[in-house]
Amino acid sequence: MRCSRLTMTDRSSSSEGYPHLNDAARRLLDKTDDARIYAIREGSWLGYKDAKRILARMEELLAYPRITRMPNMLLVAPSFNGKTSILQRFLSLHLPDMDPTGEVTICPVVMVEAPPKPDISDFYMRILDVLMTPYKPTASVPEKYSQIKRLFRQMDVHMLIVDEIHHLIAGSLNRQKEFRNALKSLGNETGVCIVAAGIEDAYNAFNTDPQMSSRFTPEELTSWRANNEFGSLLATLELRTPLKQPSNLKDPAIMLAIHTRSEGTLGDMCDLVKELAVDAIRSKVERITLERINVLPWVPPSKRKQYKRL
């Protein structure tokens, strides 16, 4: 999850006397307010415990030998709770080998988003687009499938990540079955590990097919609780957020207020802290206070469906 800018490298800094910040955040204090706000909103990877666990499991899958029945993963998480950020982080660690001297690009990991409905042709075109290969949009489904199998072999693809897999249930039962069968065949015939990811509805997309539920080991990211781990996460964010005064985000009252307003969702917590930090810069207070947490305009996740602009 991208929460706040961080690069733990050079320890020298022209700004001293800010023990509540890490070195990268201290260096930003010399920048303009707009530059600090940009850095805060840009975000960076936040490696919390569950994220590291999922990444470690994906590394195991990537290194798995090609066998008759490859292991797969179903990653399930509430909306905006870090699922896609973990997948993108893994992808960034395994980018294609773009060596111009090589005859074929090596692409160990391919990541696509499932189409908004279980359309096999659309799914195959998304894979071909990611592989940046020419194809005929009007080609038949078997032709696209044959091209993907050939490219997977040539490019030595070991893992296919399919995000937003819960889109599968947007189609009829027959279309859902066809899409699941296409996914199984792709894994069987290419020997790739498949990591499917989605919100809780992803369970429904797979559990109706015993073969799918047995092939995909579930991993879950739950909503956060207002506990020590959540407090440590906030403390890490404070180290990375270039404010001139300490905010003590780990303080129980402040931690509980942030948790309550974000409703325990990682993405909303990060966004809320970002906007509180921006507010602190613009107001010249230079720290996040309990008062501003409680009054900052912010629509919690549970009320956004009912929220109407006036």
Q: Please give the mean pLDDT across all residues of the chain.
A: 90
Residue type, 129: D
CA distance linking residue 170 with residue 259, whole number of Å: 32
Nearest in space to 48 (alpha carbons), one of 60, 40, 56: 56
Other Cβ atoms less than 10 A from the Cβ of 309: the count is 3
Of 2-11, 52-61, 238-247, which gets the smallest average pLDDT? 2-11
Residue 275 in contact with residue 298, Cβ under 8 Å?
Answer: yes
- pLDDT bucket at 15, cuts 50 / 70 / 90: very low
pTM: 0.88
Q: Kindly state the tokens that stand for 284.
A: 């010249």
Does residue 264 carry a pLDDT above 80? yes
Question: What pLDDT is attached to residue 12?
Answer: 38
Does residue 302 carry a pLDDT above 80? no
Residue 279 in contact with residue 247, Cβ under 8 Å?
Answer: no
Nearest in space to 152 (alpha carbons), one of 95, 197, 193: 193
